[in-house]
Amino acid sequence: MNTGGYDPRFDFTVDLDFGHEGEENLIMFFRAVEGGRVEVKADRYRNGRMAVETQQNPAGRGWKDSGINVTEADWWAYRFAPDAFVIVSVRRLKNFLRHNKDLLNKRNFAANSDNPAKGFILYPEQVTDLLTNDIYD
């Protein structure tokens, strides 16, 4: 269904179909929750940034894929604050990362811990792009 651009004309059939499409998408999400197919992460610092882990080095035994690179989840839920989540399909998030690999900088997380990790920090404007740009559909 093409939803690009603003068209002020009211078309009940088109609007109803668009609403049903959204409901079906949400039903798919709730089924994934019931099946344990949702990865939930959190913004501990409440800075509007989204961390996406890609690798870890447990106990210094060498870097291996983790996080988004190995998840079997269908959905990625990110908690920005109590009662404030962003939910995106893993497929969409991976598409975003692939399209923007040259713009994103890989960072170290918990470098001085027993389980350091690497990944990407998405800034608020990048999160907005992830959620709204149709090239990630």
Domain ranges of the chain: 38-136
In the predicted structure, residue 2 carries a pLDDT above the cut 60: no
In the predicted structure, residue 7 carries a pLDDT above the cut 70: no
Q: Which residue has the higher pLDDT, 20 or 73?
A: 73
Please check whether residue 40 is in contact with residue 29, taking contact to mean a CB–CB distance below 8 angstroms. Answer: no
Work out the pLDDT band at 114, boundaries 50, 70, 90: very high
Q: Report the pLDDT value the prediction gives residue 28, as an integer from 0 to 100.
A: 85
Tell me the pTM. 0.81
Q: Report the pLDDT value the prediction gives residue 94, as an integer from 0 to 100.
A: 98
Q: Which among 42, 25, 39 has a CA at the least distance from the CA of 72?
A: 39
The C-alpha angle 105, 50, 34, rounded to 5 degrees, equals 130
